[in-house]
Amino acid sequence: MMHHFIVIGNPISHSKSPAIHTAFAQSVGLNISYQRQFCPNDFDSFKAVIEAFFCGGGVGANITLPFKEMAFDICQTHGLLSHHARSAGAVNTLMLKDGKLFGDNTDGRGLVADLNAHDIDLQGKKVAILGAGGATRGAILPLLESGADIFVYNRTPDKAKQLATDFHHQISPYPLSDLSGHFDVIINATSATTTGQTLDLGSVSSDVAYDMMYGKPSAFLNHFKNAQQIDGFGMLINQAKLSFELWTAKQIDLTQENLIKSLIKIRQ
């Protein structure tokens, strides 16, 4: 039996999700079809694509930019949301649950899973996050659940303060210009690596430097020459793993030798 999945985005041709999920399926002996789906950037088109996919027997959809907030709105109005999706205000994983559209967000848990895979225990650790956009919002609840003490730095202080309010002041907001001192982990959740923008990192230091982006030279990571440096490819793999397991109830073993080889090829 063939199980059908898609990833919806605009643009979408660059997505590695089909290769990743096909590798997962092969590792557990499932027969799947996973396709990229381009969608015009408007609400009606996106809603129509989702409805057509699930009415046609689709099992699961991944949602990428710029549709994560639209997916959230649809699930909030017409379906169901996980508590991680509610916290993130965005959905990256869709499926049908009890006949209703169910939205989840696996991005932040993918980040935490990747940090854990690098033997980084977050309990009681000082974690700085640069940026106060959607990527940071999605990461906060999983980081709080892991016991981290979170400090958010953003060029626009009001955005960081709003995040702190939204999370009942469980995080500490600061302007990016105040970034200083030493952290156990520092995370770049801005788009600086992909846009080529420069972050003013001053004299801040950290034991671990994590860039959510990957595939391009990272001035952020290069700044932390004495730190353990990690890019976002492992986060991509782990958020995909969580989606796949939700859809299929199959557990993915990322230590399986053949799967490791497949994922290395995908990264290249």
Q: Which residues of 78-115 are buried (b: 16+ CB within 10 A; e: fewer)?
A: ebbbbebbbbbbbbbbbbeeeeebbbbbbbbbbbbbbb
From 68, 125, 126, 241, the catalytic residue: 68
Cβ-in-10-Å burial (0-12, 13-18, 19+) of 16 comes to middle
| Cα–Cα dist 130/156, whole Å | 11
Q: How many CB atoms lie within 10 A of CB 233?
A: 16
Would residue 68 show up in a list of annotated catalytic residues for this protein? yes
Spatial CA neighbour of 266 closest among 17, 32, 8: 17
| Cα–Cα dist 39/111, whole Å | 27
Q: Are 71 and 91 in contact (CB under 8 A)?
A: yes
* Residues annotated as part of the active site: 68
